[in-house]
Amino acid sequence: MAMVTASAKGPTPVLDFEPALWSRLLGLGRLLVVLWLTRVDEEVIRRLPCGFFRSNRFFVRRGGQSRELGTLFGKVRYRRRYVYSAEAERGFYPADDAVGLTADGFTLPLVGLCCRLATRMSYAAALSVLCWFLRWAPAPRSLQELTMGLGGQGHRFQEQAPPPPADEGEVLVIQFDSKGIPTATEEELGARRGPRPARSAEPSRRHRGRRQRRERNPRPKRDPDDHSKNARMATVVVMYTLAQDPTTSEPRLLGPRNVRAHASFCPKRYAFQVARREADKRGFGPGSGRRIQFVYDGDEDLETYRRQYFGDYPQENVVVTADIMHVLEYIWDAAAVLYPRDKDACASWVAIQKARLLASEGELIRQELQARLAQMPRTGPGNKAKRKQLETTLRYLTTNAQRLDYRLVRSLDLELASGMVEGMVRNLIGQRFDQGGMRWIAERAEALLQLRCIELNGQWDDFIRFVHASLALGDPARPHRFRSRKPPPMPALLPPHLAKPSTLPN
C-alpha cells in the first residue's frame, strides 16, 4: 500500500511506482512457484507406495531435501522428497522428474530464454539484458555451459523436425555460401588454459596496465595487408520454394516461401547432406517431378558434392546457376585490366558483357578475352599481373560455362543471384560470430550456431518442447543435465548413398 498511498508531497511518481511494483510481482511469482512445487511434491509422493519398481530397480522413499532453483522470477528454495535404490546406489526426486526439472538448478523456460538471448548477442550482453528484466541472471560460465549443452541437441532436432507447413511451391531453390569466423590459435588457447598470473600490488587497473606494458616485449607491428584471422569456414545453405502465380499462365513465380537456413562448421559436404535431407522432407525427391534450382558462386567443390548427393535427379528437373553478381565481379576485374584509366569505357564494356550473359552468349565473352589475351605481350611493365587476371576470368567463365544459361533462367522466372544466402550469411554468421575481439573454438561455435539457426528459422518453441520431451527418455536414477563443460562433437558425415532415403517421395 505504501506504493500507491499519496504522501504529503503528492502521489508516488510513476518513475518509482512501476519499478517497485515489478519487484513485488517478481516476489509474488517466487512465492507462487514455491507453492506450486510444494503441492506437486505432495501429490506425487502421495501416489507413490513406500517401495516400488521402476526401470527394473526397486526404490524406497526417503526424507526430504531442500534445493535452490533458478526461475524466471528469481531464485527460490523449496523442499522435495527423495527415493533411493540400493541396487543402483543412487536415486531421484519424483517431483522434479514429474515436472521436468533437471539437475542444473534452472528451469527449462529460464534456460531457453538465456540461450535464446545468447544466439542474438554476446554472452555478456545477454546477461545484462536478463538483469534488466528479471533482476538477476545466471553466472557467465553457467550460461556458456547451458548453451553448449542445449546446442548439442540442435542437430538431432533438425534431423527429425517436420517440413514447413503447406509447402506447395513448384520450385525448390537451394543456395550455398561460406564465411569464416576468427578462431583461437594454439598460442591463444595456451594462454587461456594456463595458470592465471598473480594479481600485482598496484592500487588500480591503470597502474597494473602501465607495469604490464613496461614489462612486455614490444609486439611486432602487423602488416596492413594482413587480414588473416585464423578463420574456420562455415557453410550456409538457404532453402525456399517458389509458387506459380495462379492469375497468369506465363511463368511467374511468387515467393520466397518457407525460408529455412542451415549452417555448420563441418566440411562443405555436410551442407549437401542436409540439403538432400530437407529436400526429401519437402517432397522434392527424384521421383516428384518437381524442379530444383541450385545457386552458388561457381565453386567446383560445390558442384562435385551436388553431383554426389543429387545425381539421381532427372537432369530436366535440375537447374544449376552461377550467381550472376559473382560472374560480373570477374568481368569487372577483366575490364580494369583492359581499360585501366577510362572508367566510362570500362563500364560500357561491362554493360555489353552483361547483355551477352543475359542472352546466354558467354562463348562470345570467352572468345573476346582469348583474343585480348593473345594480343597482350608476355613481357613489359605490369603485363604479367594483367595476363594473370585475364586468365583467371577466362578460366572461371570456362569452368562455369554450363551454369551461365541465364536466358533459360529468365524464361523460367528463376533466380539469377544468391542474394538470399548472402544476406543470411551476414545475419547468421557475421553479426554473431565475426565481431571485433572474438576468438572462437570451432566446436563451441558449432553448438551456438545450431541454436541461432533454429531461432532464425522460427522453430525455437518447437525445439524447447523437443528438449523437454527428451527428458522422459532418460534413466530416472541418472539426473539429466543440460550444462556441459565440453562442447558436443561435430555431426557425422555420411556417404552420399547413405544420405539419400531408401524410399523416395512420390
Give how far the C-alpha of residue 450 lies from the chain's centroid of Cα atoms, to the nearest Å.
4
Question: In terms of Cα–Cα distance, which of 113, 229, 188, 179 is closest to 431?
Answer: 179
Question: Is the residue at 335 inside a domain?
Answer: yes
pLDDT number for residue 505: 44
Determine the average pLDDT of the residues in 125-140: 95
Question: Residue 360: which domain range?
Answer: 325-403
Please, is 88 exposed, middle or buried when counting C-beta atoms within 10 Å of its C-beta (0-12, 13-18, 19+)? Answer: middle
**Does residue 372 form part of some domain?**
yes
Residues 85, 142: Cα–Cα separation, whole Å: 30
Q: Cα–Cα distances in Å, from 64 out to 7, 46, 92, 185, 378?
A: 47, 14, 11, 49, 88
d(CA 384, CA 368): 19
**Whole-angstrom Cα distance, residue 99 to residue 86?**
25
Separation of alpha carbons 305 and 297, rounded Å:
14
Angle between helices 123-134 and 140-151 (to 10 degrees): 110
Q: Can you tell me the mean pLDDT for 244-254?
A: 92
DSSP conformational letter for 289: -
- Reply yes or no: is the peptide bond before residue 11 cis, omega within 30 of 0: no
Specify if 350 maps to a domain. yes
Residue 408 lies in a domain: no
Using a pLDDT cut of 70, give the percent of the chain over it. Answer: 92
* Tens of pLDDT, residues 400-444: 999 999 999 999 999 999 999 999 999 999 999 998 888 999 999
Closest CA to 177 of 330, 299, 325: 299
Out of 74-88, 142-156, 402-416, pick the least confident: 74-88
Report phi then psi at 339, rounded to 5. Answer: -130, 70
- 40 or 222: which carries more pLDDT confidence? 40
106 or 64, which is more confident? 106
Residue predicted with more confidence, 193 or 26: 26
pLDDT over 70 (residue 224): no
pLDDT at 248 over 60: yes
Query: What pLDDT is stored for residue 200 in this prediction?
Result: 65
Cell of 123: 554472452
- Residue 469 CB partners (closer than 8 Å, separation 6+): none
Residue 47: how many CA atoms within 13 Å on its side-chain side? 8
C-alpha grid cell, residue 202? 598496484
Residue 291 host element (H or E): strand 291-296
Residue 125: the pLDDT is 96
Q: Are 83 and 91 in contact (CB under 8 A)?
A: yes
Total-model pTM: 0.90
- Look at residues 118, 155, 150 and name the one whose alpha carbon lies nearest to residue 432: 118
The dihedral built from the CA positions of residue 347, 348, 351 and 356, taken in this order, carries a sign that is negative
Q: Which of 452, 428, 454 is nearest to 175 (CA)?
A: 428
Grid coordinates belonging to 472: 522422459
CA distances from 270 to 80, 120, 237, 305, 407 (A): 46, 25, 10, 9, 31
Please give the average per-residue pLDDT across 230-237, as a whole number.
Answer: 93
Contact 292, 318 (CB under 8 A): yes
Number of domains in the chain: 1
Residue 385 domain flag: yes
Helix (H) or strand (E) holding 207: helix 205-215
Q: Residue 179: inside a domain, yes or no? A: no
At a CB cut-off of 8 Å and minimum separation 6, what does 129 contact? 117, 121
pLDDT in tens, 174-216: 999 999 999 988 887 877 777 776 766 777 888 888 887 777 6
Q: What is the pLDDT of residue 50?
A: 86
Q: Which three cell numbers stand for residue 197?
A: 598470473
Q: Which residues pair with 440 in a beta bridge?
A: 183
The reply to whether 333 falls in a domain is yes
> Does the pLDDT of residue 315 top 90, yes or no?
yes
pLDDT value, residue 270:
96
Residue 8 pLDDT class (50, 70, 90 cuts): low
Quick check: 196 and 437 in contact, CB under 8 A? no
**Beta strand pairing call for 171-182 and 90-92:** unpaired
Tens digits of per-residue pLDDT, 316-374? 999 999 999 999 999 999 999 999 989 999 999 999 999 999 999 999 999 999 999 99
- The answer to the question of residue 183 being in a domain is no
